[in-house]
Amino acid sequence: MRALRTTVVLLLALALVSPLSARAAQTDADVQRLSAQLDQLSADPVLGTLAPGEQARARDAINALRDSGRRERPHYLFMAEQRVALARAAAQSEADQRQLDQLQREHDRIMLEASQADAAAARAELARQRLQYQAAVEQAQMLQQQGAAYSQQAQQAQAEAEQAKKLAAAQARAAALARKEADLAEQATRALRGDSGGTSESSGGHLTLSDSAFSAGSENLSPARARRLAEFAQAHAGQSIRIVPRAASGMRVLAGRRAVAVRDALVAGGADASRIHIRAVESGGKGASVEVSAGG
């Protein structure tokens, strides 16, 4: 009987000790699990040194779980798990913030380099525009100098042209005076010879203009001879007029030109150009004379 009571007592003691051992074993397993998670976080090469305060509080919560009683254990277990999770989240957040800060610094560096590159490009463009402006100024100055030189040359050329024009006018006046002097000399010579001015007329409408009736070497008629031809044209209006040029050797061309000049003077005096006929140049006489006959 005593042995039976002893056995019952032992069984009861074992029944009481077993739950306590199980609870202790469970507590040790949670502590080990959470401690392992926290140790893994601390050993991480990136996150291990971050959020040290949160990691310390998680370590305290695990120690509190280890020392907690049966009734307080669920609360301390919850707190320890939350502290470990919070420590990891805080470390990860701090790592992300550091990476973000690094990226921001990298962005700022890139923007600074881009700004410096833009400033360098702007300075290069400004230098290029300055060079272009300087070249344009130099080109304008050169063109201005060339324009001044051209203007001076133009003024000089204009002055030379005016001088040449004056010289030509003086030469023309000298030539006119020489011709007038020659005409006067010729008239004086004819007067001394008793010549009628190189023009003779016979009955029947015949007019002869000798070589002396024209300017020397030309077909030019004086105004007096032109008037004489006009009078001849008016006196024989309605009649046919025949012009016969006569020329000495080597003066046929001059005789032909004088015949044309005579015809023009007759037409200017009123003769019908369709009734004026110029014959071929005939040889004979002296110089280049022209005979004008009216009739029919």
Average pLDDT over residues 133-140: 77
In a domain? residue 168: no
What's the first-to-final CA gap in the chain, in angstroms?
A: 206
In a domain? residue 230: yes
Q: Which of 52-61, 246-255, 277-286 has the lowest mean pLDDT?
A: 277-286
The reply to whether 132 and 30 lie within a common domain is yes
Residue 214's nearest CA partner among 167, 168, 261, 170 is 261
Give the end of a domain, one of 88, 113, 148. 148
In a domain? residue 227: yes
The reply to whether 6 and 88 lie within a common domain is yes
In a domain? residue 186: no
The reply to whether 3 and 123 lie within a common domain is yes
Angle at 134 between CA 133 and CA 138, to 5 degrees: 115
pLDDT reported for residue 164: 66
Q: What is the gyration radius of the CA atoms in the chain, in angstroms?
A: 71
Q: Which structural domain, as residue segments, surrounds residue 259?
A: 198-295
pLDDT reported for residue 161: 66
For the chain, what is the mean pLDDT?
Answer: 79
pLDDT reported for residue 18: 43
Find the DSSP H helices in the chain. 2-43, 52-67, 73-193, 223-235, 252-269
The reply to whether 6 and 144 lie within a common domain is yes
For 240, the enclosing helix (H) or strand (E) is: strand 240-247
The reply to whether 141 and 21 lie within a common domain is yes
pLDDT reported for residue 187: 45
Average pLDDT over residues 250-257: 90
42 close to 55: Cβ distance less than 8 angstroms: yes
In a domain? residue 278: yes
The reply to whether 127 and 69 lie within a common domain is yes
The reply to whether 51 and 138 lie within a common domain is yes
Q: Which of 117-131, 184-198, 260-274 has the lowest mean pLDDT?
A: 184-198
In a domain? residue 192: no
Res. 204: pLDDT tops 90: no
Give the end of a domain, one of 148, 169, 185. 148
Residue 265's nearest CA partner among 220, 216, 296 is 220
Q: Tokens in use for 149?
A: 């030189």
Q: Catalogue the long-range contacts made by 268-273 (C-beta closer than 8 Å, 24 or more residues apart).
A: 268/226, 268/230, 269/226, 269/229, 269/230, 269/231, 269/232, 269/233, 269/234, 270/230, 270/233, 270/234, 270/237, 271/233, 271/236, 271/237, 271/241, 272/237, 272/238
Q: How many domains does the chain have?
A: 2
Res. 19: pLDDT tops 60: no
CA distance 290 to 245: 4
The reply to whether 87 and 225 lie within a common domain is no
Q: Tokens in use for 246?
A: 């006569």
The reply to whether 88 and 216 lie within a common domain is no
Give the end of a domain, one of 148, 163, 182. 148
In a domain? residue 202: yes
The reply to whether 1 and 128 lie within a common domain is yes
Return the SS3 of 277.
strand
In a domain? residue 175: no
- CATH label of the domain that carries residue 216: 3.30.1330.60
Res. 24: pLDDT tops 60: no
pLDDT reported for residue 114: 81
The reply to whether 85 and 25 lie within a common domain is yes
Average pLDDT over residues 32-56: 92
Q: Tokens in use for 237?
A: 């209006």
The reply to whether 214 and 128 lie within a common domain is no
